[in-house]
Amino acid sequence: MAGVGEVIAGRYRIDKVIGHGGMSTVYLATDTKLNKQWALKEIRTVGDAEQRDVIIKGLVNEANLLKGLNHPAIPRIVDLFQTDAKNADEIYIVMDYVEGRTLSRLVTKKGPQSEQVVADWGVQLCDVLDYLHRRNPSIIYRDVKPSNVMLTPDGAIRLIDFGIAREIPGKGTEGRTLLGDPRPLGTQGFGAPEQFEDGAPIDARTDIYALGATLFYLLTGVNPHTNPMKPIRQIDPSLSEGLEEVILRATQQDPNKRYADCAEMAYALRHYRDRDAAHNRAFRRRVRIFNGLVIAAVVCLVLGLACIPAGNASRNKDYDYWMQTGAQSTNDAAAEQAYRNATKAKSDSIEPYEKLIALYENDGQFSTSEEQTFNTLIVENTQDLSKNSDNWGTLSYDTGLMYWYFYTPDSAVASASSSATSAEADEQARGLRVRAASQWMHNAADSTADIKDKAAVYAEIADFMTQIDAKIKQGTDSGYSKHFEELRKLVENSQDETNPVMRLDVANLTLYALQTYPRNFRAEGISKDDMLALAQSAVDLAQGTTVNASDSTQENNRKRAIDSKDATTTAIENAFIDVTGQKGNEA
């Protein structure tokens, strides 16, 4: 066992002991190279070869599984090592330090917890387990129990110890080596019956059983390992009948009788009070007031109408929950999932889509995978979303902006590494973004939203940019003067824009057009002074942009726009010099 102040592997200084186990000690340690605190888990191995193999496999499995996961309730493993021969019997794991205490320790010290708190913890656990189950291949945790769940000071749940978690076969996993020990492992009392049967299949419902057993323990303080589970109200009659039903269903011996997935169980936990006997008795008393077929028909009508606000209230409650979850999440993947759930709770609201747009734009790239997720949600709910023209127009406009400035499809990434010059690659990428944004801008321009005029500017520019090359080849190119005017409007509209990516893209787009089409602009009546003025406005837009100091792309785009002033001026001047060398008409 390491002592306080001792430095392990020349790097990790022991600050204090924060936990003990049968074969392990967990320390709070400072990484002297990064000046960051980690949890350092010291595993004391044993001489028995088979037992040692189980320990090593569990550690390696945990490290390999966790390095591919990204969820706020899952701590990261950052290192796994053995020290020199002197300590060869000890293995160390370096992981995120999670401040707080386990739920088993909490119950030991403070006794059973309130049902509302336990239901909230259950919903949080459903969220992280659902994240694991929906991966491909699916990950089954296999060891949900109070001692593997940490509660942070701010009330958040963290799932620890992935030692026996296991990937299971799924679509597209043929031929792949799946992580995890295939042997039947788990904790008696909390583990589902199928976990301890050789060859028995496991799936998401296996974790659902263990979650139900964990909730049973948190509500009653009774350990199901030493005392078989029974309906919780037989232990404490004051507990909710609805919550009792949730736990009974989750812990059915037959997996087919449990909840199908964690999303379904989470819904039941959020609505457990709806199933309470008191609620049902009150409802029956109201119904018994009415007698006779005529009165019963009236009752049916009243109840039918009443179901509308009741259903809306329930739907709104779910929607508010997921929106709040997304807003509070510090993890992008978890926030994305919460907003996706919100779109299902209220299919006609644009708010979760706007939150997704902000999330996707945050890192400066709207990726192909993000596009697939976003478009799938839009397609599923287009009919409901488009019922309100103002909202649909606003969403279409913001979606168009996301495509126009942030879309980074795989093809664009590939072209960036090809033989194309930086400028050529930028223009190719812009072309892809504009084509993708075009229809969204047309949708917004055709709406009644306040931004329809701004959307029309983008739509006109998109039409010009996507059609001009073909028209030039056919000799039918025109519309340059209109394109010039739309560019001028775009620069004017961008003066109040604060996003550096948008400002710099507008500046470079305008300067590129002035370098490429000055003779065409002149031919359609645009004066040299107007072109030079627009060029200066574009350069001023770039110069007035504050870029992120750590973002080299923004700085490069700003520099490119400013540095292109002379080349743009020369191109415009040359457009007004005829082949004889004489200056042409500048008006």
Which token pair is 115? 């049902």
Contact 193, 187 (CB under 8 A): no
Question: Who contacts 247 (Cβ-Cβ below 8 Å, separation ≥6)?
Answer: 212, 215, 216, 219, 232
Which token pair is 166? 């296991």
Of 376, 309, 377, give the one whose Cα is nearest residue 349. 377
The verdict on whether residue 41 carries a ligand-binding annotation is: yes
Calpha distance 306→96 (Å, rounded): 50
Which token pair is 483? 């394109």
Question: Who contacts 540 (Cβ-Cβ below 8 Å, separation ≥6)?
Answer: none
Residue recorded with tokens 């127009």: 393
Count of other CB atoms within 10 angstroms of residue 463: 18
Query: Three-state SS for 88?
Result: coil
Calpha distance 500→492 (Å, rounded): 15
Instruction: Give φ, ψ of 275 to 5 degrees.
Output: -100, 5
Contact 165, 105 (CB under 8 A): no
DSSP one-letter code for 12:
E
Order across the sheet with 12-20: list the strands. Answer: 7-8, 12-20, 24-31, 36-44, 90-95, 77-82
Of 159, 106, 167, give the one whose Cα is nearest residue 128. 159
Which residues sit in the known binding site?
41
Q: Which residues are annotated as a binding site for ATP?
A: 41
